[in-house]
Amino acid sequence: MEKRIIPITLGNDKLRLIISEIIEFNNIYGNLEFQLTNKNDLKKNNKDILITDNEFAVNELSDTIKFDTIFIINCNSDAIEIDELNRKIVLLSIPIQLRDLYQRVSNSLNQINSQIARKLKFNRFTYDPSMRTLSNHNLYLRFTEKESQILQIFLDNTDTHISKKNLLKKVWSYNEDIDTHTLETHIYSLRKKIEKNLLLKDLIVFEDNKGYFLNKKIL
């Protein structure tokens, strides 16, 4: 089985030296290998897992460093607060046991693979229900929980129209405080967000006497 490189990019020189000594003599576990990596070389690695420290996280993390899960050593609140990119953050403390780190990374990779299996891939876009995102290489939109519920119903019924009555039943379970105006407001807002962020016009279409349907051919 081909080994998988897990990049470690650190901002603290002392910590980098310590980690370097740890992985130099005791590194490969299973099919994983931890590798110290410079910031400029991150794009050459897989985009699943990044291991870093608080200093690098605060100063260097941005939307150009695209990893699904980021392990942060000696993390404080600053590193968490600056990350608003919907990535999973896992906190690590010192001292680090490489075998324990391997197990945690392996568990994260299994979760990522499970999420990938659930993703819906269209011609241009991919929908990730676990992250509530619709995106391609250039465009990205994360939905609220209620928006994702509505979108998921459309995705589950892409070959048929859905009446306002059925949408109310599925999303709000006929809550007595909810009426069709609330539904129409949510869908109007959802359409506007999709058009603005994904440049998709008329993804959700309404036809009189039939209801709503998802125009998935433009995805």
pLDDT at 208 over 50: yes
Question: Structurally, what CATH architecture does the domain formed by 4-118 represent?
Answer: 3-Layer(aba) Sandwich (3.40)
| Residue 4 pLDDT exceeds 50 | yes
In this predicted structure, which of 50-64, 74-88, 158-172, 173-187 has the lowest mean pLDDT?
74-88
d(CA 10, CA 57): 9
| Residue 82 DSSP code | T
* CA gap 129, 182 in Å, rounded: 23
pLDDT at 195: 93
pLDDT at 86 over 60: no
Mean pLDDT of the chain: 80
| Cα gap 71→73, rounded to integer Å | 7
| Residue-level length of the chain | 219
Q: What is the mean pLDDT of residues 129-145?
A: 87
Average pLDDT over residues 144-157: 87
Helix (H, G, I), strand (E, B) or coil at 113: helix
CATH number for the domain formed by residue range(s) 126-218: 1.10.10.10
Residue ranges, comma separated, of all CATH 3.40.50 domains in the chain are: 4-118
Backbone angles phi, psi at 198, to 5 degrees: -115, -5
| Mean per-residue pLDDT, 49-58 | 85
How many Å apart are CA 122 and CA 177, to the nearest integer?
Answer: 36
Return the pLDDT at 1: 47
pTM for the model: 0.50
Residue 217 pLDDT exceeds 50: yes
- Other C-beta atoms lying within 10 Å of the C-beta of residue 26: 11
Give the separation between CA 18 and CA 15, rounded to whole angstroms: 5
CATH 1.10.10.10 positions along the chain are 126-218
Residue 173 backbone class (left: φ over 0; alpha: ψ -120 to 50; beta: rest): left
Pairwise pLDDT comparison (201 vs 179), residue with the higher score: 201
